[in-house]
Structure 1
């Protein structure tokens, strides 16, 4: 009663009666595994994943508690659960049950317990980023503008540093961008930057970068034709529920965009299992819930099945729960009014079976026992059945760190994603542009300073020349004045020199006196002579 060609054996009544199988052609109609802690959800999940892998269907499993890593190892007859599982196999009439492993690839957003999973900021897109950072409509609009500007300017947005640099660039160009795109305020840019800081504190730096995940590495088979099981270490990631939810939504969105339409294939191309599903929906904004519901509803046509694992079925929003056609319900407690509400809600989701009081049975189920309602080949839900879940063949419980490391280093992915690549992108280009602007500004400033210095020097030189000319003129004036004084002194001296001495003056006086007396005498003589002559002439 192992996995059949067209279905996966889930369980049966004790003795093997009324076997329940998950139809592969209906496995892309999604499903739900619910039940209180310790009731056997993980064992059910392991059995279903083993079944999918055995028929060549790759799987993705979000491992929140770490115990799903045991899928990579075969169970052991020395384990504590061996007797329980062997007895259950006997009760179910399984004659070919044996331990075996499944091919596993380990992944970890933080790169600690598996290969890093990365995407680029551009691939994530402004819509999911806005949801991830819980931005309002105005801030989301500014983020869209940043993406648009990056596209126009040929700037790659690969990691959060690129996005931060792009936001700084938009803040600096806010006035110009407002004219072109509408209001871009520095306050909105600052708010986005603060949200970006919160995202970094949740580990967002690890998620964004290159090399980005290639989905072909998820959808792969091993050399035996078994589907690869991709196990995401989410124990640390669940501490950042918004990052966890956005990552899973991004992964589904990428699959939806890249996979072709196939309708209802003979078997799914890939099956997702989201453990602790309430983390996807707790405190999620309506827009994010709407996006999850949309992706879950549409991705079925791409041949992808999505299965949610949660303690309480009412943790799943109604619009999403309405898409979950294959259901496995383990025991629920009914101690509180909310528990009782969950029991009644779970009971109402099953197609009724007159032989089973579903509401009562849910509270009475044993560990490893469940109420099951799966889609039949014609697509209709089968009436609810109470069954024992088939025992898993892989190890129940986590691997040791050493075992995990061996698998990580020897799987088909190898070291493809292990080394971060930081190629030239928006941060580097904007920094280079800024450095050029700074250098140009410094050169202009230096030129201005040099011109100013030269002008000041020229002014000082002109002032010095002017003062020198003034000094020369003053000196010339002084020289002329001195020459004039010297000439005056020379004239004075010449005059002084020309003046007679006292002896000369005495002599000159005497001579003048004598000259004067002699002259008078001569004059008188002449006058008498003249007068005498005149008189005689008469």
Structure 2
């Protein structure tokens, strides 16, 4: 029996989202072309998000969604046949069938879900700088710390590792700055770094303390999250819905936005190329998306645009959820093919601009005054334009969003606890592991426990090794005429590290660095462009 014989409901290759004059379908094969859900507070964005998540899950597509207020947690429990739900379903010829979906709860703080952790090394210096709100000079010092840790084989796992690394490089940078056996450019770059080292390291350490006081330190550590655990189906072949509990995380919006951006970059890095699959491999809902773009520097914006544009070929659909479409930069907005626009209020000049901008993003419908309709939409109504079979946007339609099949609203703490207890992820991430990493290794070397194995006589122990590595980064250990290709590029890094965001260097390294030295430099610096992005 087909969907048309039973009323509008999900059918092969399509998800039923709502109905106006015609049913509104989201084509699964175009679900990885990304999307945008916008509207003022209280107009129904969360319900729309739940409807879309349910549709993807029914089709066997895993879902990841950030839950800001806890309203999305109801997707884990059976829906209730309330009068308003039955009335709306009947109005669109839909037979309401209560349902629930396999759900895994995650929480950076480990309180309302399984802990989510990453290592400091995986986060990378660019995203960590964004999280700590560092300037270019401070970010340059952070990049040196990462590079030295890479070359010395010192794993940066948690906050204490990064603190130990910063403390270790501080006197070395000053030592390099005093070295007269370098050309003027290198001496100037090293001196600039060395002159601010103590103050800069102190500033970074204070910002790390602020992050720790906000609870961000719990995010860094092991066991680190394996993103394959997000891409799973249940015993019925349905996609598992992964919900990140973000009510507490939202108290630090920069941490929230940077964390989700890190996840996107890791997905881009780890997943293979798929082209355009019959359905997405994963759908990623980014709520409060404006936080991602607020005050983002241009190099970071370039990388965000790049990952949004290219992650489609990995089979990942990214759906931004925010109040106004003008919250999303035009060059990112242009990548979002599937649009759902709830009501906007036009009380202020900015509101009026948002309404006009929203109307202009839709393919016009001669039967509909889009600008006027946006301000008249009722709760649960939306203007919808999904991509059609040839990848072009359909004409905008005014539709009523279908009711979700699962519960609308929050679940109780007892229900959440039961779901977590029965989760297939139980026990895998719940207990933190403090393995030997940079902090322990540096401590042991400073105490001389490994002096015989780690440093030959005359090398100066730990400081000698660090000095040698930093000098290699700056290109001071080799005469100019005898530099390898990797060292030439490393000198270029030294000249700009104090004044330039390292993202601009990555493209040069990818083209110029070769051999073993190039592999080492490229791995550390390119990893830093977006915490794991573009190692290609």
Task: Give TM class, smaller chain.
Answer: 0.7 to 0.9
Q: How does 1:266-285 map to 2 (within 5 A)?
A: 266-285=278-297
Q: SS of 2:398's equivalent? A: strand
Higher helix share: 1
Q: Name the structure 2 match of 1:12.
A: 19
Deviates more, 1:150-159 or 1:194-203: 194-203
Assess if the C-alpha contact under 8 Å between 1:170 and 1:177 holds in 2.
Answer: no
Counterpart for residue 32 of structure 2: 28
The match for 1:52 is 56
Point out the more displaced range, 106-115 or 197-206.
Answer: 197-206
Spell out the pairing of 1:499-538 with structure 2 (5 A cutoff): none
Q: Does 1:65 align with 2:69?
A: yes
SS at structure 2 position matched to 1:307: strand
Does the 8 A contact of 2:166 with 2:201 survive in 1?
Answer: yes
- State the match for 1:483 in structure 2: none
Query: 2:157 matched to 1:152?
Result: no
CA-to-aligned-CA distance 1:196-255 (integer Å, 9 cap, x gap): 222222322111000000011100000110101100001111111111111001000000
Contact 2:445 2:451 in 1 (8 A): no
Alpha-carbon deviation of 1:186?
A: 2.2
Q: Is the 8 A contact 1:159 1:209 kept in 2?
A: yes
Is the 8 Å Cα contact of residues 119 and 210 (structure 1) preserved in structure 2?
yes
Q: Structure 1 unaligned runs (5+)? A: 441-538
Contact 2:222 2:432 in 1 (8 A): yes
1:264 paired residue number:
276
Q: What is the alpha-carbon distance in structure 2 between the residues aligned to residue 438 and residue 125 of structure 1?
A: 28
Distance in 1 between the 2:9 and 2:118 partners?
38
CA deviations over 1:254-295 (Å, ceiling 9, x no partner): 000000111111100000111122222233333333322221
3-state SS of paired residue (2:447): helix
2:41 to 37, 41, 65: 37
Deviates more, 1:159-168 or 1:120-129: 120-129
Change (3 A) 1:177 1:426: farther
Counterparts in 2 of 1:439 and 1:256: CA distance versus 1, 3 Å: closer
C-alpha distance in 2, partners of 1:205/1:314?
Answer: 33
CA distance in 2, matches of 1:281, 1:237: 17
RMSD: 1.8
326-335 or 167-176, larger mean C-alpha shift: 167-176
Task: Determine if contact 1:58/1:270 at 8 Å carries over to the other structure.
Answer: yes
- Alpha carbons 1:70, 1:398 under 8 Å: kept: yes
What's the CA shift string for 1:26-73, capped at 9, x where partnerless?
111111111111111111111110000001000100000111011100
* Alignment partner of 1:130 is 2:134: no
Other-structure match for 2:236: 224
Which secondary structure state, in structure 2, belongs to the residue aligned with residue 128 of structure 1? Answer: helix
Unaligned runs of 5+ in 2: 1-7, 453-536
Report whether the alignment pairs 1:94 with 2:101. no
Check if 1:76 corresponds to 2:80.
Answer: yes
Q: Which has more radius of gyration?
A: 1
TM-score normalised to structure 2 length: 0.78
Does residue 352 of structure 2 align to residue 345 of structure 1? Answer: no
On the 8 A contact 1:174/1:186 being kept in 2, the answer is no
Task: Figure out how many residues of one structure are paired with residues of the other and give that number.
Answer: 432
TM-score, with length taken from structure 1: 0.78
Secondary structure of the residue aligned to 1:173 is helix
Rounded to whole Å, the distance in 2 between the matches of 1:359 and 1:195 is: 45
